[in-house]
Amino acid sequence: METINFGIIGCGAVSEKHGQATRQVEGVRLVAAADVVEERARAFAAKYCEGPPRIYTDYRRMLEDPDVDAVIIATPSGLHARMGLDALDAGKHVLIEKPLALTSEDAGRLIEKATHVKKCLGTVHPNRYYPTSQMIYRAIREGRLGKLSHGVATVRWSRPQSYYEEAPWRKTKEMDGGVLFNQAWHALDMLFWYIGSPAVEVQGMTARRLHDVETEDVAFLTVRFQNGALGLLEATTNVYPRNLEHTISVFAETGTIVQGGTRPDTLKVWRVRDEAEQVVIAEWGETRSIQHPDAWAHGKVLMDFQQQIETTNVACEIVNDARNLIAVVEKVTGIQPGSPM
Ligand SMILES: NC(=O)c1ccc[n+]([C@@H]2O[C@H](COP(=O)([O-])OP(=O)(O)OC[C@H]3O[C@@H](n4cnc5c(N)ncnc54)[C@H](O)[C@@H]3O)[C@@H](O)[C@H]2O)c1
């Protein structure tokens, strides 16, 4: 197994998790960093890159570097598609932060390009790797919950206006996409992943209520899945004065599971026929749960991407799921682009 040399594009908030993640995974290392703000690339490289510093303010120069095998894209969401296509064209494997792209057309282009150039395309969905997420997924797939009724995802978060001002791309439709693409992305993905069936009907409503931004800050979405189950999402950044919950609930014939609350990787309810709820909650409840370090799940994402490269799996399941999810969000944001303040 040869060591995979990574470069990173975008050295802002989430790049820290990727820096820490590479330290957790054997056989990968960071060798280059790009950011339009040179100081950020320099500081990131000093902390996380191995070998002589390779620092770029133009990511395209980094893509010309033959020692870089793969890139992580951690820039504002509206840049993901363009940068991903450029990186694939340059013969690099590409791991893109969420969301994969802001239009399903762009997501499709990325998948086509990866297939064409035979380089691997991945995207970062860390919540799928939480042990509790794996437990829920397995319980559903093994039929322990019986027939599914419905799932509900709730993202009740607080983001002051200063959050949007700190990184002004977050205020824009073109670069951020709104609460569904940004804050609700993981909850939406988990809801769809758990139910495990394509959407056949999607409806929704969005509004911009409490922030000076171009996009919605509250969204409702309902979905009918092909297997007959229903799904519901409520997502907002309008909760006063702090985060309330990030919760996914699944209701089925012989099981009720509630994941999350103040910590999305925990379990609140595990009522599954013939299974001992107290035992599960004692281990995974909000108070007793083992705390994973912040970047632990990003490490799992990276490990999976490493395996994807080793097996030349150009477009993994998550990438295809992400494209379908973008199409779902498009349906909702297309219906109602947000009301005036
Ligand atoms: N998977 C997760 O859990 C998770 C968590 C947070 C953020 N994200 C995603 O990561 C991405 C970045 O978010 P963030 O919070 O780190 O943002 P940020 O604003 O803190 O960082 C973005 C960085 O990209 C740089 N940049 C902008 N344009 C560039 C260009 N043309 N070339 C090179 N660098 C450029 C900026 O200078 C900045 O340093 C977003 O898409 C966001 O949705 C994912």
Strands 93-96 and 28-34: unpaired
Q: 148: burial class by Cβ within 10 Å (0-12, 13-18, 19+)?
A: buried
Indicate whether residue 11 lines ligand 1 (CB < 6 A): yes
Dihedral sign for Cα atoms in the order 63, 105, 75, 72: negative
Q: Per the domain annotation, does 339 fall within a domain? A: no
Ligand 1 geometric centre to CA of 341 (Å): 27
* Closest C-alpha to ligand 1, atom 7: 14
Report which residue type is found at 185: W
| 93 beta partners | 70
Whether 282 lines ligand 1, by a CB cut-off of 6 Å, is no
Enclosing domain of residue 230? 131-291
Please give the distance, rounded to the nearest whole angstrom, from the Cα atom of residue 321 to the centre of ligand 1.
Answer: 22
Specify the pLDDT at position 335.
Answer: 52
Q: Would the pLDDT of 287 be above 90? A: no
What CATH number is given to the structural domain containing 251?
3.30.360.10
Which residue minimizes the CA distance to atom 34 of ligand 1? 35
Q: Which of 57, 97, 100, 102 to probe ligand 1 with, by most ligand atoms within 8 A of CB?
A: 97
Q: Are residues 137 and 253 in the same domain?
A: yes
Termini Cα distance of the chain: 55
> Looking at ligand 1, which residue's alpha carbon is closest to its atom 30?
36
Do the bridges between strand 230-236 and strand 121-123 make them parallel or antiparallel, or are there none, so unpaired?
A: unpaired
Please write the tens of the pLDDT for every residue from 147-198. 999 999 999 999 999 999 999 999 999 999 999 999 999 999 999 999 999 9
Q: Looking at residue 126, what is its pLDDT?
A: 97
Write the DSSP string, 187-235.
HHHHHHHHHTS-EEEEEEEEE--SSSSSS-SEEEEEEEETTS-EEEEEE
Residues 6+ apart with CB under 8 A from 46: 53
Q: How many other C-beta atoms can be found within 10 angstroms of the C-beta atom of residue 121?
A: 30
What is the torsional sign of CA 205, 210, 216, 219?
Answer: negative
**pLDDT, tens only, 249-284:** 999 999 999 999 999 999 999 999 999 999 999 999
The size of the chain, in residues, is 341
| 250 and 219 co-located in one domain | yes
- For a pocket test of ligand 1, which of 8, 9, 14 has the largest count of ligand atoms closer than 8 A to its C-beta? 14
Nearest CA to ligand 1 atom 21: 12
pLDDT at 334: 78
pLDDT, tens only, 86-101:
999 999 999 999 999 9
**Cβ atoms of 245 and 260 closer than 8 Å:** yes
- Same domain assignment for residues 273 and 139: yes
If you count DSSP H runs as helices and E runs as strands, how many of each does the chain have, helices first? 11, 13
Query: Is 124 close to ligand 1, i.e. is its CB under 6 Å away?
Result: yes
Give me the half-sphere count of Cα atoms (radius 13 Å) on the Cβ side of residue 136.
Answer: 35
What is residue 293's predicted lDDT score, i.e. its pLDDT?
A: 78
The β-bridge partners of 80 are none
The pLDDT of residue 185: 98
The CATH number assigned to the domain holding 45 equals: 3.40.50.720
In a domain, 331, yes or no: no
The Cα–Cα gap between 319 and 99 comes to: 10
CB of 260 closer than 8 Å to CB of 248: yes
Ligand 1 centroid, distance to 273 Cα (angstroms): 43
Indicate if 286 and 245 belong to the same structural domain: yes
Helix (H, G, I), strand (E, B) or coil at 31: strand
Say what the pTM is: 0.96
For ligand 1, say whether the CB of 101 is within 6 Å of any of its atoms.
no
User: What residues does 240 pair with on adjacent strands?
Assistant: none
Task: Please check whether residues 214 and 182 belong to one and the same domain.
Answer: yes
Domain membership flag for residue 28? yes
Percent of the residues in the chain that have a pLDDT greater than 70, as a whole number:
97
If asked whether residues 243 and 136 sit together in one domain, one would say yes
pLDDT above 80: residue 317: yes
Same domain, 139 and 185: yes
pLDDT tier at 289, thresholds 50, 70, 90: low
Q: Is 255 in the pocket of ligand 1 (CB under 6 A)?
A: no
Q: Are residues 23 and 159 in the same domain?
A: no
- Measure 97 CA to ligand 1 centroid, in angstroms: 8
Is residue 43 in contact with ligand 1, taking CB distance under 6 Å? no
Question: Do the strands 148-156 and 28-34 form a parallel or antiparallel pair, or are they unpaired?
Answer: unpaired
320 is a domain residue: no
| Number of domains the chain contains | 2
**Residue to mutate (ligand 1; options 18, 35, 302; most atoms within 8 A of CB):** 35
30 & 67 share domain = yes
- The span from the CA of 319 to the CA of 2, in Å, is 24
Confidence label for 49 from pLDDT (cuts 50, 70 and 90): very high
Q: Is 6 in the pocket of ligand 1 (CB under 6 A)?
A: no
